[in-house]
């Protein structure tokens, strides 16, 4: 299954100059744990709720003058929309990331998260259980 079938296209984005206080407010309003930082439509970084906790609060910095560029992870890993589920999961595991932006020709096209993968696996397990129950002889 290509990850474009699983990825969400409603990615929350912001520019590198966005104040971290705005990022935190947006995460709360949008009920998301990350914001992809873009230049135009090109993903250049990601800020997660953990980044805000560790890089701002954990270092006791004053967030007033801080921007996304100050706290974002800029060694961003992305996948193409036609990447397979296993390829995406392996990339996430190998690099210890929970969120993987999907980029097509350098343009942000979606995002897949560890929660999305967990939900897919749970659905597949449920389907497998239904098959097994349907083939089980009555006792």
What pLDDT, in 10s, does the model give residues 82-96?
Answer: 888 889 999 999 999
Residue-wise pLDDT for 110-136, tens only, equals 999 998 888 888 888 888 888 888 888
Exposure b/e, 38-53, CB count within 10 A at least 16 = b: beeeebbbbbbeebbe
Beta bridge mates, 73: 46
* Residues whose CB falls within 8 Å of the CB of residue 79, separated by 6 or more in sequence, listed in order: 3, 87, 88, 91, 100, 101, 102, 103, 112
Q: What percent of the chain has pLDDT over 70?
A: 92
Q: Which two tokens stand for residue 32?
A: 């998301």
The model carries a pTM of: 0.82
Domain made up of 3-135: CATH architecture? Roll (3.10)
Q: Which of 11-20, 21-30, 54-63 is the least confident region?
A: 54-63
Calpha distance 118→70 (Å, rounded): 31
Q: What is the pLDDT of residues 46-85, one digit of tens each?
A: 999 999 998 888 776 678 889 999 999 999 999 998 888 8
Could you state, in order of their start, the residue ranges of all structural domains in the chain?
3-135
CB-count burial class (<10 Å; 0-12, 13-18, 19+) for 6: middle
Query: Which residue, chain included where needed, has tokens 């439509």?
Result: 41
């Amino acid at each position: 299954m290509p990850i474009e079938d699983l990825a969400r296209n409603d990615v929350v984005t912001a520019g590198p100059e966005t104040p971290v206080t705005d990022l935190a407010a947006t995460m709360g309003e949008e009920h998301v744990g990350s914001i992809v930082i873009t230049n135009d439509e090109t993903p250049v970084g990601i800020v997660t709720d953990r980044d805000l906790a560790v890089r701002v609060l954990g270092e006791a910095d004053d967030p007033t003058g801080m921007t996304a560029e100050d706290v974002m992870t800029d060694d961003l890993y992305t996948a193409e929309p036609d990447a397979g589920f296993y390829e995406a999961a392996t990339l996430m595991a190998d690099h210890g990331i929970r969120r993987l932006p999907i980029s097509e020709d350098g343009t942000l096209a979606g995002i897949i998260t560890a929660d999305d993968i967990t939900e897919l696996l749970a659905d597949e397990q449920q389907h497998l259980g239904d098959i097994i129950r349907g083939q089980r002889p009555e006792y």
